[in-house]
A and B are shown apart, each in its own frame.
Chain A
Amino acid sequence: RKEVEQDPGPFNVPEGATVAFNCTYSNSASQSFFWYRQDCRKEPKLLMSVYSSGNEDGRFTAQLNRASQYISLLIRDSKLSDSATYLCVVNRDNFNKFYFGSGTKLNVKP
């Protein structure tokens, strides 16, 4: 079983839509959680950390459910520039190892 699983998509949404991605992780010992964004043929870049209490950064909201071992990302008022692949990342093993999901592709259309 993969450490981190994501729906590959693609999610095709119109501008202004709200879209949500989920991610599940297999190891309950996972310690820190993040969402990264990766544009085509570019390196992954940190979008936001995910905290137990949930956190928001502008149009982006991240939630963590430790009991069910899943993480979510909500994007409100989608922009064309949000089109990218979103990677779910978990960190464990004394914070040494980072495990990446395969990513969920988002296409925001005019």
Chain B
Amino acid sequence: GAGVSQSPSNKVTEKGKDVELRCDPISGHTALYWYRQSLGQGLEFLIYFQGNSAPDKSGLPSDRFSAERTGGSVSTLTIQRTQQEDSAVYLCASRLDRAAGNTIYFGEGSWLTVV
């Protein structure tokens, strides 16, 4: 597609439920990132995928968070047993490759509200 596509755009869920957020990167982009941003705050790195390499999970805040990327394209971020502090916008970004100067392009985000 022309840009990074994320779904759902908005999700309201009850505390304790699991949620899945999907990201479809720009066609041909080898790298995929997940960030989250709470209201009025900066971007928090969650996880990074590059090609077939093992993902960098160093930003995942707890073991309730996991992500996978199947076939080197679409990625799913899963949050288990959601808590109210998980409420945020989850932003996916993709990047062509690791070459210097190549930057990342964001999707419109998935707005998650845990009630």
Interface residues, chain A, with chain B CB atoms under 8 Å away: 31-32, 34, 42-46, 49, 87, 89, 91, 94-103
Contact = CB atoms under 8 A, between A and B. Distances in A.
A32 B101 contact: yes
A43 B104 contact: no
B100 A32 contact: yes
Given A43-B108, A45-B106, A49-B103, A95 B98 contact: yes
B49 to A, nearest CB: 10
Given A96-B50, A98-B33, A100-B43, A44 B100 contact: no
Contacts, number: 48
A32 to B, nearest CB: 6
A95 B104 CA distance: 11
B5 to A, nearest CB: 12
Given A44-B43, A103-B42, A97 B48 contact: yes
Contact of A46 (B103, B107, B108): B103
A44 B56 CA distance: 22
A31 B100 contact: yes
B98 A98 contact: no
Nearest to A34: B103
B98 A94 contact: yes
11 contacts: A43-B91, A44-B91, A44-B106, A46-B103, A46-B105, A87-B43, A91-B103, A95-B98, A95-B102, A98-B45, A103-B42
Contacts of A96: 31, 48, 50, 56, 98
B99 A95 contact: yes
Contacts of B108: 42-43
Interface string B20-59: 0000000000010101000001110100101000001000
Nearest to A95: B98
A91 B93 CA distance: 14
B107 A43 contact: yes
Contacts of A101: 42
Contacts of A43: 91, 106-109
A103 B44 CA distance: 13
A103 B108 CA distance: 18
